[in-house]
Amino acid sequence: MTSTKISETIEDYLSIMLVLERDHEPIVGARLAELIGVSAPTVTNTLKRMARDGYITMDEKSGTHLTAKGLEAAKSVMRRHMLTEWLLVPMLGWSKTHSQAHSMEHAVSAELEAALNNDLENPSVCPHGNPLPGFEHVVAEWQPLLSFAVGSVITIRRIHELAEQNADLLAFLETKQVMPGRTAVITENIPFNQTITLEINHQPVILGYSVAQYIYATPHILPEAV
C-alpha cells in the first residue's frame, strides 16, 4: 500500500471529523474552530485544502462530510492515537496520556501501529473508554451518566473523546477516580443546579452537567453471592 504522508494539521482535523460524524454531529466551521482552537478563517482555508485533496466533500445543502479516502485516513490516525495512549499510560498516568499521544500519533508508522496493536492484544477501546474504529459496537450499550437514577450503583466506562481534549478536566477526573472500571453510586441529581453527585471510594464527587454529559456507564453487576 502506498500512501503519501498527511500533514499533522490535516490529521488533527480528520480525527475530530471522525468523532463528529460517528456521533451524528454536523461538521461545521464554528464547531471545528472551537474544538481545534483556531480562528474561523483558518478552518475555512484548511477545509478548502482538504476538499481539494479529496478528504472531504463540501456542499451548501448536504454539509461537510468525509469521503471514503478521508474516512480511511481518519480511522488510521484515530487508531494510532489510541494505541499510543495505551503505550504511554504506564509511564505518564491516565490523565496525561491523551495530549502526549496527540503529538506523537503523527509519527507512528504502519509497522509500529501493527506492532503496538499486537503487543497490546488488539484493544477495542482507548484508556478513556472510547472505541477504536470498528469497535463502536463495544460501547453502544453504555448509557449516559445523566440517564441513571439517584441510588444507582454503576461502573464508569467511558469519558468521551471531546472531553479528553481538556487536560484540566482529565486531571480532576483522575484525582477523583472518575475513570473506566471504577464503581460509583449516584447520590444526588439537582436539575436546577445542573449538578450530579457520585460517591467513589466513599468520596463524593460533584460534576456539572456540562462535564457529566461526556461520561458513560453501565449498571454495576454485583458479584454473585456464594
Question: Could you tell me the smallest distance in angstroms from the CB atom of residue 57 to Zn ion?
Answer: 27
Nearer to Zn ion, 94 or 186 (CB): 94
Nearer to Zn ion, 11 or 164 (CB): 164
In DSSP notation, 86-117 reads: HHHHHHH-TTTHHHHHHHHGGG--HHHHHHHH
- C-alpha 144/C-alpha 165 separation (Å) is 19
Question: Could you tell me the smallest distance in angstroms from the CB atom of residue 31 to Zn ion?
Answer: 18
Q: Is 106 in the site for Zn ion (CB under 5 A)?
A: no
Nearer to Zn ion, 12 or 164 (CB): 164
Going residue by residue from 47 to 86, which x/- string records binding to Zn ion, judged by CB under 5 A? --------------------------------------x-
Question: Could you tell me the smallest distance in angstroms from the CB atom of residue 148 to Zn ion?
Answer: 23
- C-alpha 56/C-alpha 67 separation (Å) is 5
Q: Is 98 in the site for Zn ion (CB under 5 A)?
A: yes
- C-alpha 179/C-alpha 129 separation (Å) is 9
Helix (H) or strand (E) holding 167: helix 167-175
| Span near Zn ion by CB under 5 A; candidates 53-61, 97-105, 110-118, 212-220 | 97-105
Q: Is 164 in the site for Zn ion (CB under 5 A)?
A: yes
Question: Could you tell me the smallest distance in angstroms from the CB atom of residue 33 to Zn ion?
Answer: 20
Size of the site for Zn ion (CB under 5 A): 5
Q: What are phi and psi of 62, to 5 degrees?
A: -90, -10
Q: Is 157 in the site for Zn ion (CB under 5 A)?
A: no
Nearer to Zn ion, 50 or 78 (CB): 78
Contacts for 167-172 with beta carbons within 8 Å, 24 or more apart?
A: 167/95, 167/96, 167/98, 167/99, 169/211, 170/94, 170/95, 170/96, 170/98, 170/128, 171/95, 171/96
197: Cα within 13 Å, side-chain hemisphere? 8
Residues 124-153 binding Zn ion (CB under 5 A) are 126, 128
Beta bridge partners of 63: 59
DSSP 3-state of 67: coil
Question: Could you tell me the smallest distance in angstroms from the CB atom of residue 127 to Zn ion?
Answer: 5
Residues that bind Zn ion (CB under 5 A): 85, 98, 126, 128, 164
